[in-house]
Amino acid sequence: MVVTVGTASGRPAVEVEHVVGRSDWLGADPASGVGAVHEGCDVQVLIDAPAYYAQLREAVQAAGDGDLICWAGFQSGLGTPVPVADEPPAPGFARRTPQPDDVTWGELLAGAVRRGARLRVLLNLHPEPSGAYRESNLEVVQALNRLPRTGAVNDFRYLHVNGTHHQKLVVVHTAAGLTAFVATMDVRAQRIEERWCEVAVRLRGAAARDVYTVFHDRWVEHDATLALLDPDRRDVPSPGSLRVGPTDGHAPDAPVGPAEGHAPDVPLGPAAGHAQVQVSTTYGNPGRPHPFGRRRSLPPTQVLNTPHVLTLSRRPPLSSGNDFFTGRDPAAPPLLAAAAAQAPGYAFAPHGRHAVYDQLRAALARPSRTIYLEDQYLVADEPMGDLPSMLDLLVARVSDPSFESLVVLTTRVAEINRSFLGLGAAHRRAFVRRLVAAGGSKVLVCHYRSNADLGTGLRPPSAAPFYVHSKTWVFDDELLVTGSANCNRRGYSHDSELDVAVVDPTLVAQTRRRLWVRRLNAGLAAPVVTEDDVADPVAAARFWAQPERLGLAVQNHRIGLTSFLAGAPTRVPSLLGDLATARLAQVYKISPARLPRWLWDVVVDPEGT
């Protein structure tokens, strides 16, 4: 069997041969970054932050002398509370409070380093023109680099001006082998304290090495930045040298410097689990023409080694960029100079990758009966270059007569619209309206009722008590796809993203049931919906269809699309902070009527093919 997916450049399509095994959900295409399909992987799916953080705690506490911990994130917080074990949600809408057995993420990492572990960290340095970059990640990197045997890097090797690194991973390598975590959430206090809706997976087996490879490939490209660190803070083993399991009969790994290349592969050892697993990534194309046009102050393409700043005028001096990228922050000059000495593109993805999209496109091309989707943004209503939009792919699937049920849980549109400069609501409306028109009664798009409606006392009143941050797909209770990529053009083509696909009918069906029980019972004093109630996803769609009958906190689009999608302004704000909108429009000769379209395509939700 074959399935048509996009190539690495996103232009011509290719046919990918499916792996023959228990299922035909997954197909490998190394040229596009869709990774190998690994059999016999040990997978655990972790729902919400307490479960994920508790597993991180166990893995990090097991690391000691000579072991390795790697962490990559979009946002961070060393003060994040980490529980000793998973814990049930508090009753009602109460926020999580500190527990006696909590430790902080910073304490866990410092403890591992004191025991002799090596720590390597890549944290995104945010391009937005504000001071948030310092509190979120710059100061964390500075604090980590004060620990022994630790190397932490401010990673701003993303598409010039409007990109970001969004991958979320932790890998721990000990004598027992590799344990890798891929998550929809960062290690950050808000995620656990405010009870965000999240998913993570813990991987053991060959797929864990693929997750480490994602970190390794990004790390070694910082050659000039790493030269600023002591040698014992920059070494990393090659992926092929890492032991996956404890019984492969090889000696512990020797550190391999970033310029030393890959050592011969170490055998993987016996299979430890039952799942098929595939890792996929997104990276924007650094060689694409610069979306801000040809100007002397800009590179012609979206290279990775230039400060993320826009010069709007020289007289008077006016630029858009935070204090780091304009060089005003005292920490910036040596790091900006090192970045400029590095390559303008990704060696591992010279034309970018949209493998997360390809992975989902392959799944949507396969006949299926049911889909469940949790997604934060749900605005991928437009094509990416020559690639059909995710909405197009979903419309084709729900229109198939054999398809029976699509349930979507998303954020309230008012919660995303501010970060989308007032432009997100129109795209969410377009997405939901067209999907519902195509699927009719087979489609249910849901969100949590507002704080005002539920009387939670939480603020803001227009927001939900539980923020849906998850980016998770479940197909036919057989295939789970989860990770950092949102359902928007950024997530599928522009920023760095990391997803994992898991095929295991027993595990995936159990996960979907657990997710539905958790999401449907949220806010109730006692569970009303049980796993037995939601065993059949088609029959159990009735809970999402008529939640008011059980007093559930969710509601769906059938309350009326106008009401369901209300509460968010659609006009572009007259001022966009330090973007200096009026001057921006003048410099780029953008008319007021065209400004919303330009901002959406270039600033808010660009495509990166």
How far, in Å, CA of 118 to CA of 148, rounded?
8
Q: What is the CA radius of gyration of the chain?
A: 23
pLDDT score of 256 more than 50: no
**Domain annotation covers residue 345:** no
Domain boundaries, position 440: 353-564
Of residues 183, 245, 180, the one with CA closest to residue 216 = 180
**Do 262 and 399 belong to one domain?**
no
pLDDT score of 400 more than 50: yes
pLDDT at 317: 66
**Do 358 and 277 belong to one domain?**
no
How far, in Å, CA of 233 to CA of 147, rounded?
10
pLDDT score of 587 more than 90: no
**Domain annotation covers residue 29:** no
pLDDT score of 258 more than 50: no
Higher-confidence residue of 90 and 167: namely 167
Query: Strands 68-73 and 118-124: what pairing?
Result: parallel
**205 touches 38 (CB < 8 A):** yes
pLDDT score of 508 more than 50: yes
pLDDT at 75: 97
Tokens of 125: 């340095």
3-state secondary structure of 220: helix
User: CA-CA distances (angstroms) from residue 236 to 130, 167, 496?
Assistant: 33, 19, 21
Residue that terminates a domain, selected from 263, 282, 301: 282
**Do 418 and 500 belong to one domain?**
yes
pLDDT at 584: 74
**Domain annotation covers residue 28:** no
pLDDT at 566: 86
pLDDT at 21: 37
**Domain annotation covers residue 14:** no
User: CA-CA distances (angstroms) from residue 504 to 301, 407, 472, 484?
Assistant: 42, 20, 15, 21
**Do 259 and 117 belong to one domain?**
yes
DSSP assignment, residue 234? Answer: T
DSSP assignment, residue 253? Answer: P
Cα torsion angle, 295, 296, 297, 302, sign: positive
pLDDT score of 139 more than 60: yes
Residue that terminates a domain, selected from 282, 310, 328: 282
Kindly report the three-state secondary structure assignment for every residue of 301-334: ECCCCCCCCEEEECCCCEEECCCCCCCCCCCHHH
**Domain annotation covers residue 140:** yes
3-state secondary structure of 280: strand
Is residue 349 very low, low, confident or very high in pLDDT (cuts 50, 70, 90)? very high
pLDDT score of 592 more than 90: no
How far, in Å, CA of 503 to CA of 26, rounded?
8
pLDDT score of 219 more than 90: yes
Tell me what the mean pLDDT of segment 323-344 comes to.
97
Strands, E, within 255-304: which ranges?
Answer: 275-283
**522 touches 229 (CB < 8 A):** no
**152 touches 123 (CB < 8 A):** yes
Tokens of 343: 């390559």
- Total domain count, the chain: 2
pLDDT at 29: 72
Is residue 320 very low, low, confident or very high in pLDDT (cuts 50, 70, 90)? confident
**Domain annotation covers residue 217:** yes
How far, in Å, CA of 137 to CA of 186, rounded?
12
Of residues 181, 190, 196, the one with CA closest to residue 48 = 196
**Residues recorded for the chain:** 609
pLDDT at 23: 62
The amino acid occupying position 475 is: F
Q: Please state, for a pLDDT cut of 90, what percent of the chain lies above it.
A: 79
Q: Please state, for a pLDDT cut of 70, what percent of the chain lies above it.
A: 88
pLDDT score of 34 more than 70: yes
Query: Strands 443-448 and 554-556: what pairing?
Result: antiparallel
**182 touches 482 (CB < 8 A):** yes
**Domain annotation covers residue 297:** no
Tokens of 140: 């964390």
Mean pLDDT of the chain: 89
**Do 387 and 484 belong to one domain?**
yes
**Do 167 and 77 belong to one domain?**
yes
Tokens 């005002």 appear where? 452
Tokens 């050892």 appear where? 269
The answer for residues whose C-beta is within 8 angstroms of residue 416's C-beta and 6 or more apart is: 376, 377, 379, 424, 428
* CB burial of residue 562 (10 Å; 0-12, 13-18, 19+): exposed
**Do 361 and 268 belong to one domain?**
no
**Do 265 and 362 belong to one domain?**
no
Kindly report the three-state secondary structure assignment for every residue of 466-484: CCECCCEEEECCCEEEEEC
Tell me what the mean pLDDT of segment 454-465 comes to.
96
How far, in Å, CA of 187 to CA of 50, rounded?
11
Return the exposure string of 187-226: e unless at least 16 CB atoms fall within 10 Å of the residue's CB, then b: bbbbbbeebbbbbbbbbbbbbbbbbbbbbbbbbbbbbbbb
pLDDT score of 488 more than 80: yes
Higher-confidence residue of 2 and 239: namely 239
pLDDT at 12: 36
Tell me what the mean pLDDT of segment 458-462 comes to.
95
pLDDT at 295: 80
Tell me what the mean pLDDT of segment 20-31 comes to.
66
How far, in Å, CA of 78 to CA of 187, rounded?
8
**175 touches 246 (CB < 8 A):** yes
pLDDT score of 575 more than 70: no
Tokens 């040698």 appear where? 231
Residue that terminates a domain, selected from 244, 263, 282: 282
Is residue 129 very low, low, confident or very high in pLDDT (cuts 50, 70, 90)? confident
**Do 62 and 185 belong to one domain?**
yes
Is residue 456 very low, low, confident or very high in pLDDT (cuts 50, 70, 90)? very high
**Do 273 and 393 belong to one domain?**
no
**208 touches 179 (CB < 8 A):** yes
- For residue 429, the domain's CATH number is 3.30.870.10
pLDDT in tens, 152-176: 999 999 999 999 999 999 999 999 9
**Domain annotation covers residue 342:** no
**Do 269 and 363 belong to one domain?**
no
Q: Residue 510 CB: number of other CB atoms within 10 A?
A: 14
3-state secondary structure of 63: coil
The answer for residues whose C-beta is within 8 angstroms of residue 392's C-beta and 6 or more apart is: 383
pTM: 0.92
Cα torsion angle, 60, 65, 67, 73, sign: positive
The amino acid occupying position 304 is: L
Tell me what the mean pLDDT of segment 199-219 comes to.
97
DSSP assignment, residue 36? Answer: P
**Do 359 and 470 belong to one domain?**
yes
Q: Is the peptide bond before 316 cis (omega within 30 degrees of 0)?
A: yes
